Structure 1
């Protein structure tokens, strides 16, 4: 007479299979989920993976390499490309979160590659270094320059002169400098740039001075073509004259004026402007609005431009 195996033996036979399922659930699924999140913020087609706190240690992959791994249909070749450098400071975490959302929730600019990067000088505080490194891992949008943190003592020069080297493998048509208190409407700016030349361009809020209509562009945000940024990176006369010291927007204009650069100049007033004290001067055709110094001003801006108008009804939250 044959003997039946005890029920406990059947469980033992199934144990290896259960262990395999557990390994798949614990290790494989989080990996898949994480791969979908990285670089998914709508901030452009470049993924940066930090290996240390130095700017040179960010590995930059061309957008084409990212697209090659994506089974979705290939997009049309962009007509132009724009790097937006948002100059900020390490401790402004909440502001960067707001600005990231401000860019991520905008509609894509048609046939354009637009990459947004948050630009610091060296992050010296150990707490900031850890938290900024986490931002770099999560968002892939951090650029750390080799300079002391400052506003009018060379940071803009460090940014513009570093861009041609940092992004040599994926050059842009245009390079923008802007601040973390500026709301930039990317599609509107791209539409302004689309018919413009791709060289010797200097575009922004033109500041009249000394009888000249545009000797320099206001620091809220200005654009130069790639060749102008490349010239800045090699222009020894800027350093020889100590022309990195002083109001950064005025100094950029001085470099270009003395060298005869940026001759294709475009003034976007009144579509670029400062927000008034009463916050009542918004324009529907805005390209950039500046002086958003607190959350109340950011909220008023988002309200005016209907940023949250398309929010889906939910029992978990109340729409504004």
Structure 2
């Protein structure tokens, strides 16, 4: 049988090519879900970063998203205070939360918290994070450690989440803390929903825990709302100084946060030898190097269960 000529072969393939275009092109278009807007920048004051809010961002991924049919006992917002330059650290922290088991019957959202971003390079790179992850909060303050950032965070949250997506609890933590969300959820489940102040308690002046360690502490929504409206904090200039100690001072003077819970020894600093991990850990702090994060991931089996592949050979 004589083979068809080359032009004839192309004519025979044309119908097949048309069918492929008809059926494949729709699948290549972004779905409505892919194009949805996320929270992105919740409060951006500088033009360099504000421009990023016009770009559609993916919806933030909840650390703990129960199935639609599962009832939710409570919701928690975790604010991780960080700085624009710590991009590698944020990538590690994101993985640390994403690879954890889900906290049952709880909704837990994690947001990275910044003050105003004024450097144009930082603003551009942070805009990429916003577009990719949608987990950024930029507050109206000057970047600092002990000059009001904690106050800006707690006083902004009730306003930013006033409509619809409010939380039962609000947490402040740092980017050198490994927080085990499911273990924290167990501690919060069954606790009151009002006047709560929970964390690593410091004993001082004969009081068992006048304030909580800055590695991470939780307050109920009403406490955060009180901070947002407490004019006396600003009148006393009490936003300046060691911020976690000052936060305890605010509550002590106002008689707030009376339901206090000390999570020692389940919240702790990692020691020099990195040999004081606990299996019942809620939070481990001072993970300021990649070596410390690696030791933490190894202890809690975060790196276990990687499927064999010819593409990677890890020790």
Q: Give your verdict on TM over 0.5.
A: yes
- Residues 1:179 and 2:174 aligned together: yes
In structure 2, stretches of 5+ residues that fail to align are: 1-5
Contact residue 54 and residue 145 of structure 1 kept, 8 A: no
Contact residue 55 and residue 145 of structure 1 kept, 8 A: no
Structure-2 change in CA distance of 1:113 and 1:306 (3 Å): same
Per-residue CA distance 1:235-257 (angstroms, 9 max, x = gap)? 00000000000001000000000
Matches of 2:19 and 2:298, distance apart in 1: 52
| 4+ runs deviating over 3 angstroms | 10-15, 17-20, 22-25, 49-52, 54-64
Counterpart of 1:43? none
Per-residue CA distance 1:50-79 (angstroms, 9 max, x = gap)? 597349969998999xx9xxxx97231210
Aligned 1:1-320 pairs, distance under 5 A: 7=7, 14=14, 18=18, 21=21, 25=25, 29=28, 31-32=30-31, 35=34, 47-50=38-41, 53-54=49-50, 74-168=68-162, 169-320=164-315
| Aligned-pair Cα RMSD in Å | 3.4
Matches of 1:212 and 1:56, distance apart in 2: 47
Matches of 2:279 and 2:238, distance apart in 1: 37
**TM-score, normalised by the number of residues in structure 1:** 0.84
Matches of 1:227 and 1:62, distance apart in 2: 24
Matches of 1:297 and 1:55, distance apart in 2: 36
Helix, strand or coil at the partner of 1:48: coil
Structure-2 change in CA distance of 1:60 and 1:19 (3 Å): closer
Matches of 1:34 and 1:149, distance apart in 2: 34
Helix, strand or coil at the partner of 1:277: coil
Cα shift at 1:313: 1.3
Helix, strand or coil at the partner of 1:83: strand
Helix, strand or coil at the partner of 1:318: coil
In structure 1, stretches of 5+ residues that fail to align are: 1-5, 40-46
Contact residue 101 and residue 182 of structure 2 kept, 8 A: yes
Matches of 2:91 and 2:126, distance apart in 1: 12
Would you say how many aligned residue pairs link Structure 1 and Structure 2? 300
Matches of 1:73 and 1:7, distance apart in 2: 56
Matches of 1:12 and 1:92, distance apart in 2: 58
Matches of 2:166 and 2:52, distance apart in 1: 16
Contact residue 60 and residue 135 of structure 2 kept, 8 A: no
Structure-2 change in CA distance of 1:158 and 1:55 (3 Å): farther
Cα shift at 1:149: 0.4
Matches of 1:183 and 1:77, distance apart in 2: 27
Helix, strand or coil at the partner of 1:31: coil
